[in-house]
Structure 1
Amino acid sequence: MADTLQKLILEDTSFDGFSRTQVPMVVSNPHLEDNPLIYANHAFTVQTGYARRAVIGRNCRFLQGEDTDITAVNRLREAVSRQESVSVDILNYRANGEAFMNRLLVAPIMDRAGALKYFVGIQKELTSGKSDMASDRVQSQLSQVQDRVETDMSLIIGMVRRKSSEVSVPSEYAALTRRIETFQLLYEEMKLSDGHSNRDSIHLGSYLSRLCCAIGHVYGRSGVRLTLQLEPIDVPIETASRVGMVTSEVLTNAFQHAFERLETGLVEVRMSQLSGGGFRIMISDDGLGLPGAMAWPDPATVGGQIISGLIEGLEGTLHLRRGAAGSIVTIDVPAGASLRY
């Protein structure tokens, strides 16, 4: 199954246009020989100059060169062997041979049973002459990325692991890239929030707007329109990560299934602040609609489990209404919900 996942991600290029985020990120599989990369985002290919197909299936040591400090390499190797997080400043080399100083954060991702599943690597190029204060800020940003989404990534990966023995054709694995990219957009929104006084909040309207447009770009087709009406609402980053993932799952499902055999269609995403606090998101389509007897979210699928788990963590509610044409999904998130893990 691990080999199938590697092949799937290697051959899948449809997500290359999903996001053009500025945070280089890779995922490796320690259960394959030599812990090879199974995912690299667009920002990583821009930073290093290596094409995605040139790095998938290889250990990331190909970035090292003759002047790379062996002490930094040993720190990485030891942390990986102990399944621990580590941050190092290491000299790496681009595909054209140019050297650059890289602040690398590597963190293990565990499933819900506590077993190692993947390693995630997040990079930041350090420019020459960067002050200690600026360098410390970079380290703080990278640590926030790890801390803020590690629990959600573990939730998703745990669900994928539990389903892996039940699917003969692992189409669910193809969605792993999209789910990782959803967090990538959040990382970039975190960077945009750095200049504001409250760095623990995200402009949810801005984040969801970019996320929905990215999903529409990948999954949309001629004749199907996407409209957005999103009020400006600030929420904690933890809330944004869960809301973004739920929105991604629901919106992708609409594009993939609502318009089969239809030439035209409309998908609408609306977000508004509730009078009693909190906010409401409505995702609707005028497509075929779900069969009346069909349970949704489907607890037998990874996507259904992700939606239910994240809604529960938000202490929110999710309702599906079947209209004369299409479906309407309403997500309510209360004000000041204490996020549960």
Structure 2
Amino acid sequence: MEKTTENISQSQSAHDDTESGHPEDNFTGATGVLFERAMAQTRMAVCLTDPNQPDNPIIFANRAFLMLTGYDHDEVIGKNCRFLQGPDTDEDSLNLIRKAIREEEVLVVEVLNYRKDGTKFWNALHLGPIYDGDTGELLYFFGSQWNVSDVHAARADEHQAKLLARELSHRMKNMFSVIGSIVSLTGRQEGAKQVTDKINGRIRALGNAHENALSSASAGPADISEIVTAVLSPYAAGSEDVFIMRGEKIGLSTSTISLVGLVLHELATNATKYGALSADEGKVTLDWREEDGHLILDWKETGGPKIDHVPEEAGVGSGIMSTLLKSARGELGLDWQEDGLKATLHMPVMS
């Protein structure tokens, strides 16, 4: 519990038959016996304080409370719970506790406390008033404590992972921007603007894929749906109906993200120039699934110009895709159907 001048207290002021004293000094008869047995057996740390005494001292603390804090029974009885506070205990949490006691409210709050040996622990404190059933008079404050240090550590790790992901995303975005600038400057100097535009398009696709993966994932593989959306959104031309996406959640490794992003970029670029995305009514349907550790992604174009012949030679983009996919044990099959291109990507999920 905490460093407030009003806090809930624990154990009681008698000697000890149980680990925490004789609760029947305050709770008499059968009720006292049941209370004593229940409090002795529960694994939840529990204490009672008496707000009718000066400084709201602890009058009862069970065994679990003593084990949690490291104090002996005689060291806690008669003290206000503020002895559990220390230099890093948050004042805002203490103000909430003070307010709850002052206004006789129920409160659940997490507060940093200290054990007898000085070690810190995060305490999930639940406190509330106990009234006389006949007169309505305030008799005690009840406090239960639960060590949630592991929960706080997990939250901190997740927060750090997200901060790292954002920083990596920012740096990667800058890196792709620098690479693009170098390519553009070189292209202007060498008179090869068309080539540099294509290269920059591929760089942007890779940047979009990785930036989205890093900014959205706290840890672990990135979901393919996020990658698909990030890479293809520039080609939607403001229409949400251009791409129809269907598939299960599949986590992709970093290397797989690069290849998927590049393949989607090349397919979308081709569709914009010659296929479904070059027509007002054109659409692209994407379906993906995982089979035996492999990603299967189907790309199907409809509503574009009629295809009356199959390209005789693969373009530069197709050559790049084929080379990279082969090195990753993947492949891209192209089926030039009359109503549009159908492509199937097949590669390991964790290449």
**TM-score normalised by the chain length of structure 1:** 0.44
Q: Which of these two proteins has the greater Rg computed from alpha carbons?
A: 2
**TM-score normalised by the chain length of structure 2:** 0.43
